[in-house]
Amino acid sequence: MYFVPDGTKVCGFYECSECGMRYLSLVIAPSMVCPYCGEEVDMELGPDDEMPESFEEAKLIRVVEGDDVEKMDVLLSLAITGGDCDWL
Ligand SMILES: [Zn+2]
């Protein structure tokens, strides 16, 4: 497994509108900061500090469950390593 650990039952399938990256994440949310081009929010800031802008460019396309998790992981891994992208 490339994106998620072996045995993952449920994960989110995301596509980043900024860099076009498609990936799986154990975190399931309507949108999230892209781990490939986004900035992590600095958690050391105190509550009185100005909130850093976070860009949640990666949108959840769908929730992947069961055997589809492994299939999606393989397909997305192949896409990254130069495989063909016509599967979607
Ligand atoms: Zn991105």
What does the pLDDT read at residue 79?
84
Structural domain includes residue 43: no
Taking the centre of ligand 1 as the mean of its atom positions, its distance from the CA of residue 18, in whole angstroms, is 5
CA–CA separation, 56 vs 35, rounded Å? 10
Q: Which domain holds residue 59?
A: 1-38+54-81
Per residue of the chain (88 residues), what is the pLDDT tens digit?
999 999 999 999 999 999 999 999 999 999 999 998 987 556 566 666 665 566 789 999 999 999 999 999 999 998 877 655 555 5
Distance in Å, CA 32 to ligand 1 centroid: 10
Total of domains in the chain: 1
Res 86: pLDDT: 55
Contact 57, 37 (CB under 8 A): yes
Residue 61 to residue 51: CA distance in whole angstroms = 27
> Would residue 87 count as lying in a domain?
no
Structure tokens belonging to residue 15 = 């596509």
Rounded to the nearest angstrom, the distance between the alpha carbon of 80 and the centre of ligand 1 is 13
- The answer to whether residue 48 sits within a structural domain is no
**C-alpha 57 to ligand 1 mean position (Å):** 7
Output the pTM of the full model.
0.75
Q: In sequence order, what are the beta bridge partners of 12? A: 25, 63
